[in-house]
Amino acid sequence: MKKSTEILIIGGGATGCGVLFDLAQRGFKCILVERGALSMGTSGRFHGLLHSGGRYAVNDFDAAVECIEENNILRKVIPHCIEDTGGLFVSVPGDPLDFTDKFYFGCKQAGIPVEEIAIAEALRREPLLNPGITRAFTVPDGSVETWEACRTLTESAAEFGAETLVYHEIVDILKSQGKVTGAVAKNTVTGETVTIEADMVVSAAGAWGGQIAHMAGCEVTVYAGKGTMIAMNYRMVNTVVNRCIHPHDGDIIVPIGSVAVIGTTSVKVSDPDNYAIEDWEIKLMLDEGEKLIPTFKKFRALRAWAGVRPLYQDKSAGSDLRDVTRKYTLLDHNSRDGVDGFVTITGGKWTTYRLMAEHTADLVCKKLNVTRPGKTATTVLKNPHKDFAGQYFTLGQRLEKLEKGELSGQLICECEIVTRPQIEHHLAHNDWNIINDLRRDLRLGMGPCQGGFCTYRAAGIMHQHKQLSATQTNKALVDFLQALVDFLQERWKGMSTVLWGQHLRQMQLDEGIYVGLLGLDKLPTELSGTNQPRLGEIETEGYYEIGH
């Protein structure tokens, strides 16, 4: 199959989706290609923080300024993807007191609204905080729903004629006479390939940007900085809580949906697709959590996961990637490498995706010798939740709709309040029968039971929704069961690093449902997967007794 377009964007994270929307709004014909689902890479594997810039006010001033400026813009253009939690920076016993004054004046200089509040007021707002905190400052941090944002951006771009191809992996970059002319993408579900001819190619592949550049004959070193996080089973804070120290492992707790996430480590890895969550990272996160909330370990760790930050700098980076700037970098490979028709946007933060996209689109216009100003800083994106249009997301929105009778039908996921009609609507508007897409789009299986009770229900609805003949059903059953196994393996993989105490009991219950009752461990090897542990064979020896 062949397609042609003006601009091909590689990478379906926040930056790539932002570039797609910006260019489409300027009138360009665009196609975005993503090898998995939208926001499946780094954008979907972070702690969900909307930065005020306070974290960088002392050590990375330019990044701090970018963050607060974009924080203000995003609150206006995608409020439905943002929870206005606010942020606290606090000093716990043992933290260097001289840093707090540097932090306060750094925020003031960067234009970040900052206010010191009394310790009693900080404890009133967050009663579980360490009562020994010595200073507390408020900043406009928030949390973001990345999948909702990326979906909103691509759907808005589609209204201008843009096309998005998910589950398509770039396998080759096309070149002619020193100019990139397009790419070849492989459908990772069907195996089919599509050749996409383009006037210009934009790589927004994040930590994978070096691999894409290499295909084009350019050498770009993007450091993959692994950050490990843990989701706890309880939303123990309603405010983003930061340690008021130099950026450090385990120094932030972010309320996301019905849980709280602590993060994060910073470890250089050689391959953004292959890295392990180490035992020491789990122990460190939990130990550091207790410094902010003394009862932290009494809560249940639901799962651990890691994402890779795309970090770029011209000089070689040392072992401590926290010294690498969080500013973004835009590379014109014609002036840099003598390869025309190709640019790379990398680095930066989720919070600055819109700015990164705008500057990338400006460069595309310059290279194509056209003048088309961007309007993303003032364009308010559509909110699919009409009753809450123009409002920030709040935790109680789904419950409010349920109580009003606006979410009808069977309740499939009790933890995250997902109903059967919502699942059926998703299936009717998506070509891919992948249960993980339901998780990303609807938060199915992301609550305290981690999919234990809703996954088999969703798989049954998915199977019934196809309305296939007996012959077709027999053939499709393999695909459905594989989707179910893949979903459970991903859920259980994240849980296997934090199995102890009550959570181990939860895992044993889930195992009893899917292995004891449904017999998923008895599936043929082509279903259970020969390259990963079979269900029910996850090792549980050697895990910490923390919280046991």
Q: What pLDDT shows up at residue 537?
A: 43
Q: Which pTM was predicted?
A: 0.84
Cα separation of 422 and 411, whole Å?
A: 10
Instruction: For the chain, 548 residues long, give each residue's pLDDT as a single digit of tens.
Output: 999 999 999 999 999 999 999 999 999 999 999 999 999 899 999 999 999 999 999 999 999 999 999 999 999 999 999 999 999 999 999 999 899 999 999 999 999 999 999 999 999 999 999 999 999 999 999 999 999 999 999 999 999 999 999 999 999 999 999 999 999 999 998 899 999 999 999 999 999 999 999 999 999 989 889 999 999 988 999 999 999 999 889 999 999 988 999 988 989 999 999 998 999 999 999 999 999 999 999 998 988 999 999 988 765 545 555 455 557 899 999 999 999 999 999 999 999 999 999 999 999 999 999 999 999 999 999 887 666 666 888 888 888 888 888 888 899 988 888 999 988 888 887 776 677 788 888 888 887 777 888 888 887 888 787 665 544 444 444 555 566 666 667 766 777 777 777 767 777 777 787 777 777 777 655 544 444 434 444 333 333 333 32
Closest of 239, 243, 238, 237 to residue 89, by C-alpha: 243
pLDDT attached to residue 8 = 98
Position 526 scores a pLDDT of 52
Label residue 294 exposed, middle or buried (CB < 10 Å: 0-12, 13-18, 19+): middle
Q: Which two tokens stand for residue 224?
A: 């993959």
Q: Are 10 and 203 in contact (CB under 8 A)?
A: yes
Do 309 and 224 contact (CB within 8 A), yes or no?
yes
Beta strands in 372-435, from DSSP E residues, in sequence order: 411-413, 418-419
Closest CA to 149 of 199, 83, 242, 62: 83
Q: How many CB atoms lie within 10 A of CB 304?
A: 21
Of how many residues is the chain composed?
A: 548
Amino acid 386: pLDDT: 62
Distance CA 314, CA 182 (A): 27
Q: How far is CA 16 from the centre of its chain?
A: 13
Let me know: does 268 contact 222? Beta carbons within 8 Å. Answer: no
Element (H, E) at 195: strand 193-203
Instruction: Encode 291-342 in three state secondary structure.
Output: HHCCCHHHCCEEEEEEEEEEEECCCCCCCCHHHCCCCEEEEEHHHHHCCECE
Rounded CA Rg of the chain = 23
**Residue holding tokens 């379906």?**
12
Measured CA to CA, the distance from residue 5 to residue 251 in angstroms comes to 45
Q: How far apart are CA 34 and CA 185, in angstroms?
A: 9
Q: So what's the pLDDT on residue 296?
A: 96
Q: Which helix (H) or strand (E) holds 227?
A: strand 222-232
Handedness of CA 249, 253, 256, 257 (dihedral sign): positive
Residue 301, CB-side half-sphere exposure with 13 Å CA sphere: 31
Q: Strand 168-176 vs strand 115-117: parallel, antiparallel, or unpaired?
A: unpaired
Task: For residues 135 and 242, give the distance between their C-alpha atoms in angstroms, rounded to a whole number.
Answer: 12
- Report the SS3 class of residue 348: coil
3-class DSSP assignment, residue 135: strand
| 193-203 and 342-347 strand pairing | parallel
Q: What is the DSSP string of 446-485?
A: -STTTTTTTHHHHHHHHHHHH---HHHHHHHHHHHHHHHH
Q: Which of 227, 212, 168 is nearest to 1 (CA)?
A: 168
CA 76 to chain centre: 21
> Would you state the pLDDT for residue 324?
55
pLDDT at 289 (0 to 100): 96
* Rama region for 355: left / alpha / beta (φ>0; ψ in -120 to 50; rest): alpha
List the structure tokens of 70: 């974009």
